[in-house]
Structures are given as C-alpha cells and as structure tokens.
Structure 1
Amino acid sequence: MEAALKTFFSSTRFAVAGASSDPTKFGHKVFAWYIHHSLPVTPLNPRAPTITLQSKEYATVPSPSGLSDASQTSLSVITPPKVTAALLKEAKEAGIPAVWLQPGTFDDEVLAYARANFEAAIAGDGGRGGEGWCVLVDGEEGLKKAGRKREEGWKL
C-alpha cells in the first residue's frame, strides 16, 4: 500500500466525490482535510453547485468527466457502493490515475474493479484506523511517502 499512497499523493490535483456542506458528513470532513492541508481540491457533487466550508463557498463539478485536468487528479470517494461503481467507471474514462475509497464506499466487486483499473487504489483492510484505510487517519502518512512537506498551519 506504500506505493499506492505515494502515487495517490503525487498527483498535482485532488477531487472529493460526495463532498457536502453538512459538517456531520464524511464528505465534508474529507473535503475539509484537503483544504486544511492546502492541497488543490475540487468537490464533486451532482446536486449542489457549491459546497460551503467555514463560511467559504467552493464551486462543485458534477462528476469526474467535468474535471479540467483529470489525468493529474487523484479522487477520494465518499459515496455508497452502488454510486461508487458507476463513479469509478466514469473516473477511469476521464483518465483519473488513483482513487481512495473511504470505508463503506465499496463492496468486493467495486474494490476488485478499482484495483484492476487504476494505477493506485487505496481501500480495504489496513491503515491505522479500525475500519480500513481512511484519508482522515492515514492521509498524513501518505503525504510524507509522496515527499510532500508539512506546511505551517496544517490543522484539523
């Protein structure tokens, strides 16, 4: 998984599928993680034109095919497994190289598809958390593996 983490965080851009303005949802927390780490991130949400985080609005893109530089974008996924399956097919067609499937976003079939169709797929058993690989728990280590230096002000 070390190589997958390095590949994922070596991208120049990031996107969060399932981003939300609701601070109780993981789509909000994961999007906030990228913002708080000063990483260039685009929220994906087909039903909301913007996502609000700490009183600031961020324009959304409805799907991976709407990303301007998909081939340089790693995708964090926070959607139900049935939605994730369709999302991954579109992400592959768009040229996204790496995906991070948060716990609860995949079943065995979706996980197999991700591992077979992306340069890097982070998901499943492992990580430091009890439920599997989670960017909120394991993201800092991934940033280090990719050689990204911690910047002042990184806090959640």
Structure 2
Amino acid sequence: MEAALKTFFSSARFAVAGASSDTSKYGHKVFVWYLTHSLPATPLNPRAPSITVGAKSYDTVASPSALVDAQNTSLSIITPPAVTMALLKEAKEAGVPAVWLQPGSFDAEIIEYARKEFKAAIAGMDGGTWGDEGWCVLVDGERGLKTAHRHWERANI
C-alpha cells in the first residue's frame, strides 16, 4: 500500500467525488481535509454548481472528464457503490492515475476493477485504520502525505 500512497499523493492535483456543502457529510469533510493541507482540490458534484466551505464558495465539476488536468489529478471517491463503478470508468477514460475509495464507496467488484485499471487504488481493509471499513483520507491521509514526502525527498537528494 505504500507504493499506492506515494503514487496517489504525488499528483499535482486532487479531486473529491461526492463533495458537498453539507458539513455533516463525509464528502464535505474530505474536501476540507485537502484544503486544510493546502492541497489543490476540486469538488466533483453533478447536482451543484458550487459548494461552500466556511464563507468561501468553490466551483464544482460534474465529472472526472470535466477536470482541468485529469492525468495529473488523484481522485477521492465518496459515493455509494451504485455510483462508484460508473465514476471509476469515466475517471479511467479521462486518464486519472490514482483513486482513493473511501469507506462505504465500494464492494469487492469495485476494488478489483480499481486495482486493475489505475496506477494506484487505495481501498479495502489491508492496513487501513478506519475500523473494519478500510482506508480513509481523514484518518490515513497524514500517513500518505508523509510516505509521499519521504519518497520525494529521496528522489531529489
């Protein structure tokens, strides 16, 4: 999983599918996590033209194919499994290199597809700290950033 974390956090940009203005939703919390860590993040939400975090509004994109630079954007997914597979297929077609499937966004078929089709797919229970549900950016993101940073430092010595 360390290699997947390096790949995911080595992207120049990030996007959050399922981002929302609703502070009680995980899509909102994950988007805020990226902002708090000063990572360039784009909210994906096909039903809202923008989302609000605090007093600031962020324009959304409707889908992975609408991302400005999909080939250099890692995608966090916080959608129901019924939506996730179609989202993954579009992300693959757009050239997204890495995905992070948040707890509740996947089933076994989705994990298998993501691991087969992307350079990196973070999902499932192998090593994550989010109880029995697997890897979560809110809990495991710091570890991922540190892993990617160590890799970047070694590569640039």
Bin of the TM-score, shorter chain as denominator length:
over 0.9
| Cα deviation code 1:71-120 (max 9, x no counterpart) | 00000000000100000000000000000000010111111100000000
Residue 149 of structure 2 aligns to a residue whose secondary structure is coil
| 2:134 equivalent to 1:138 | no
Alignment of 1:2-151 (within 5 A): 2-125=2-125, 126-130=127-131, 131-147=133-149
Q: Give the AA of the match of 2:139.
A: V
Shift of 1:56: 0.5
Runs of 4+ in 1 over 3 A off after TM superposition: none
Structure 2 CA distance for aligned equivalents of residues 55 and 78 of structure 1:
23
Identity %: 75
Structure 1 CA distance for aligned equivalents of residues 91 and 36 of structure 2:
25
Structure 2 CA distance for aligned equivalents of residues 135 and 65 of structure 1:
23
| Cα deviation code 1:20-43 (max 9, x no counterpart) | 000000000000000000000000
Structure 2 CA distance for aligned equivalents of residues 45 and 84 of structure 1:
13
Structure 1 CA distance for aligned equivalents of residues 130 and 50 of structure 2:
30
The two structures, once aligned, show a CA RMSD in angstroms of: 0.8
Shift of 1:129: 2.2
Shift of 1:127: 1.1
Query: 2:153 — aligned with what?
Result: none
Tell me whether 126-135 or 77-86 shows the greater mean CA deviation.
126-135
Residue 7 of structure 1 aligns to a residue whose secondary structure is helix
Structure 2 CA distance for aligned equivalents of residues 135 and 118 of structure 1:
18
Q: Can you give the 5+ residue segments of structure 2 that lack an aligned partner in the other structure?
A: 151-157
Tell me whether 27-36 or 124-133 shows the greater mean CA deviation.
124-133
Query: How many residue pairs end up in the alignment?
Result: 148
Structure 1 CA distance for aligned equivalents of residues 10 and 30 of structure 2:
18
Residue 147 of structure 1 aligns to a residue whose secondary structure is helix
Q: TM-score, normalised by structure 1?
A: 0.93
Shift of 1:137: 0.2
Residue 62 of structure 1 aligns to a residue whose secondary structure is coil
Residue 121 of structure 1 aligns to a residue whose secondary structure is strand
Shift of 1:55: 1.3
